[in-house]
Amino acid sequence: MKSFIRAKIINGIEYIYEVTPYYDTEKKIVRQKSKYLGKKIEGMVKKVREKKIKEVFSYGEFLPALKILSDYRLDEFLLKNLGKKQAESVITISLARLLKSLSLNNIEDWYEGTWLFHQNGALPLSSASVSRLLADIGEKRLQDKLASHLIDKLKSKRTILYDITSVSSYSELIRLLEWGYNRDNLDLPQINLSVILDKEEGIPLSYEIYPGSINDVVTLQNTMKKIRLMGVSDYTIVLDRGFFSIGNVELLLENQTDFIMAIPERYEAVEKIVSSMIKAIEKPRYLKKFNDEILFVKEVEIKIGNKQIKAFCYYNPARAQQERDSFYKRLFNIKEQIEKLKPDRGIRRKIEDIIRGLEKYFFIQVNQEVVTAQIKEKAVARRLNRKGIYLIAYHGNYSWDTCLASYKEKELIERSFDILKNDLEFTTPHIHKDITLKGLMFICFIALIIRMKIMNVLKKADLLKTYSFEKMIIQLEKLKAIAMDNDQIIISELTKKQKELLQPFNIVPKS
At 133-162, the pLDDT tens digits run 998 998 888 988 998 899 888 865 677 888
pTM: 0.72
- Cβ(262)–Cβ(241) below 8 Å: yes
Question: Tell me, what's the pLDDT at 507?
Answer: 92
β-partners of residue 258 are: 236
Rounded to the nearest 10°, the torsion over CA 457, 463, 464, 468 is: -100
Of 179 and 232, the structure prediction assigns the larger pLDDT to: 232
Q: pLDDT digit string (tens) for 413-455?
A: 888 887 777 765 543 434 557 778 788 889 989 999 999 999 9
- Main-chain phi, psi angles of 112, to 5 degrees: -65, -20
pLDDT at 215 over 70: no
| Amino acid occupying residue 177 | L
Helix/strand/coil (H/E/C) assignment for every residue in 430-459: CCCCHHHHHHHHHHHHHHHHHHHHHHHHHH
| Amino acid occupying residue 34 | S
Q: Measure CA of the first residue to CA of the last residue in the chain; give whole Å.
A: 41
Rounded to whole angstroms, the Cα distance separating 339 from 374 reads 10
Question: Tell me, what's the pLDDT at 231?
Answer: 74
- Cβ(292)–Cβ(299) below 8 Å: no
Instruction: Say whether 247 sits in a helix, a strand or coil.
Output: helix
- Main-chain phi, psi angles of 486, to 5 degrees: -100, 15
User: Which pLDDT band, with edges at 50, 70 and 90, does 171 fall under?
Assistant: very low
β-partners of residue 56 are: 482
Question: Tell me, what's the pLDDT at 170?
Answer: 41
pLDDT at 178 over 60: no
Rounded to whole angstroms, the Cα distance separating 233 from 151 reads 11
pLDDT at 494 over 60: yes
Question: Tell me, what's the pLDDT at 47?
Answer: 67
The CATH class of the 156-316+388-423 domain is: alpha beta
- Cβ(436)–Cβ(138) below 8 Å: yes
The helix (H) or strand (E) run that includes residue 158 is strand 158-168
Rounded to whole angstroms, the Cα distance separating 456 from 471 reads 15
Rounded to whole angstroms, the Cα distance separating 447 from 452 reads 9
pLDDT at 31 over 90: no
Greatest extent of the chain over all pairs of C-alpha atoms, in Å: 112
Instruction: Tell me the domain boundaries of the chain.
Output: 4-48, 53-155+429-511, 156-316+388-423, 319-384
- Cβ(142)–Cβ(442) below 8 Å: yes
Pick from 446, 399, 421: which is nearest to 66 by CA? Answer: 446
Instruction: Say whether 112 sits in a helix, a strand or coil.
Output: coil
Mean of the per-residue pLDDT values for the chain? 83
pLDDT at 48 over 70: no
Q: pLDDT digit string (tens) for 219-253?
A: 788 888 888 777 777 788 998 888 888 888 888 88
pLDDT at 488 over 60: yes
Distances (CA, A) of 17 to 12, 37, 42, 494: 16, 5, 17, 31
DSSP letter, residue 178: B
Q: pLDDT digit string (tens) for 274-333?
A: 888 877 888 999 999 998 889 999 999 988 888 899 999 999 998 889 988 999 999 999
Q: pLDDT digit string (tens) for 77-130?
A: 999 999 999 999 999 999 999 998 888 888 999 999 999 999 999 999 998 899
Of 10 and 250, the structure prediction assigns the larger pLDDT to: 250
Pick from 209, 203, 105: which is nearest to 437 by CA? Answer: 209
Question: Tell me, what's the pLDDT at 489?
Answer: 84
User: Which pLDDT band, with edges at 50, 70 and 90, does 216 fall under?
Assistant: low
Distance of CA 213 to the CA centre of its chain: 26
Instruction: Say whether 23 sits in a helix, a strand or coil.
Output: strand
Q: pLDDT digit string (tens) for 344-403?
A: 888 888 998 898 889 899 999 988 888 999 999 988 988 888 788 889 999 999 999 999
- Main-chain phi, psi angles of 161, to 5 degrees: -95, 135
DSSP letters, 70-103, are HHTTHHHHHHHHH-HHHHHHHHHHHHHHHHH---
pLDDT at 186 over 50: no
